[in-house]
Chains A and B, each alone.
Chain A
């Protein structure tokens, strides 16, 4: 009884809260990191060193006037940010934070649902989040956000192909679709998969940047664009939800990259006995540290690189990444059979 119902509910509650707090503080992290790169300090006033800034932002957005455009489709207008946010959150259900942890005498694994199609589930949820952008553009009842929304979603579905193929390459290498299984396969192989499949990692990372609408692929969101982005008509908490969804997607991509390529919760050199003292640090802390490194890289890239034009972006996705992805998949398959 406890195991079937209570424990998963508890896990979900803890995870949801942790993710939502993490996502809100990603806002602060981004502002601070970009500021330090740009020789500035970032938010400093609210709380010591600006630590309470996200709370101030959240309060402000919640207290704003709720504006809906005149003849917009009200139902869809409210639905769009929800459809953007929910898939990002539910993708966390299959991400393994640790394997076997003993808590209050109970042995449990820090993953909400270790489905044996875990990886496919993640891909499926990211493909649903495309709807949020299309519906946001549509519901604004104006030509420019609609076109911008369609363009942004075209970008998303183009890069989804390359990303999915790379995930399949990992499945070929690991032999299982389950996220926990993939980490265990890395333990058995004595090697992080990033060393076995470096091309897959690079393509996954670039594809992840494009999937989350991050620089250098953030043209649909850039203010310099003439046609206002898909979220032009949104204000207040709905607007905030779009951006929180973007950060949540970033965390999902980072977590997936960590799990698939960098050993998930495994400590560095898990098979080397003399380094066993590193086990003092729990697995989920290793996981969080690795995810954090990726998030930092996401922000770092945004601060540094210029932005691609839309046609160059699409050309990169279709003419460069997809052929590379196919080649990688074929080579992985061949090598897996031969070796």
Chain B
């Protein structure tokens, strides 16, 4: 009962903030609503007993990635005072078409997921005294999913080097 209340409240907030992200006039407000959205998702993770993911969500997503979004938004807006501006591209026909396609795709996924049988326990999960979420994720990451993990880190390294190269002042 309590779980249901908590879940539905959080769900409402999450979706609400999500909508506000898109409809906010001011870009900075939009980013702030995104942060709020992520924080709500983190609480949802806690409700699902995935505390490691919750903290990582806050730490990496809300505390790192969105900070960089905010940097970009503010530096781009630097010359003009951030005012409410109605973006004429928001109501284009192409936008509607793409949104409709996305909606169709999501509905298809939901229908498909609903029609499948209940899932079997995930492979590789240790059976015995339930270790914490952190250990589980750690084991999976470093044993079954080691290669994707390493590839992801190489990808980040490449992105970092690219950013440094692009931002470097050309010595005249």
Q: Hey, which bits of chain A sit against chain B, CB under 8 A? A: 71, 73, 75-76, 79, 115-117, 120-121, 123-125, 127-128, 130-131, 134-135, 137-138, 141, 143, 146, 150, 153, 157, 177
Contact = CB atoms under 8 A, between A and B. Distances in A.
Contact of A115 (B51, B63, B70): B51
Chain A CB count within 10 A is highest, among B28, B67, B133, for B67
B35 A131 contact: yes
B77 to A, nearest CB: 9
Interface stretch (B53-61, B97-105, B148-156): B53-61
20 contacts: A75-B29, A76-B28, A76-B29, A76-B32, A79-B32, A116-B132, A117-B55, A124-B59, A125-B58, A127-B63, A127-B67, A131-B35, A131-B67, A134-B70, A134-B71, A135-B32, A137-B74, A138-B74, A150-B75, A153-B71
Given A75-B29, A127-B58, A138-B74, A117 B51 contact: yes
Nearest to B42: A124
Nearest to A153: B67
Interface in B33-56: 35, 51-52, 55-56
Dominant SS at the A interface? helix
Dominant SS at the B interface? helix
Contacts of A146: 74, 78
A150 B67 CA distance: 10
B64 A157 contact: yes
Nearest to A161: B64
B28 to A, nearest CB: 6
Chain B CB count within 10 A is highest, among A75, A79, A128, A153, for A128
A117 B138 CA distance: 13
Contacts, number: 69
B81 interface: yes
Contact of B74 (A71, A150, A177): A150
B82 interface: yes
Contact of B59 (A75, A120, A134, A153): A120
B21 interface: no
A153 B133 CA distance: 31
Given A76-B32, A131-B35, A124 B55 contact: yes
B28 A116 contact: no
A115 B71 CA distance: 32
A120 B137 CA distance: 14
Given A127-B58, A127-B59, A130-B63, 4 more contacts: A117-B51, A120-B56, A134-B67, A134-B74
B71 A150 contact: yes
Contacts of A115: 51
A296 B40 CA distance: 38
Contact of A120 (B52, B62, B74, B75): B52
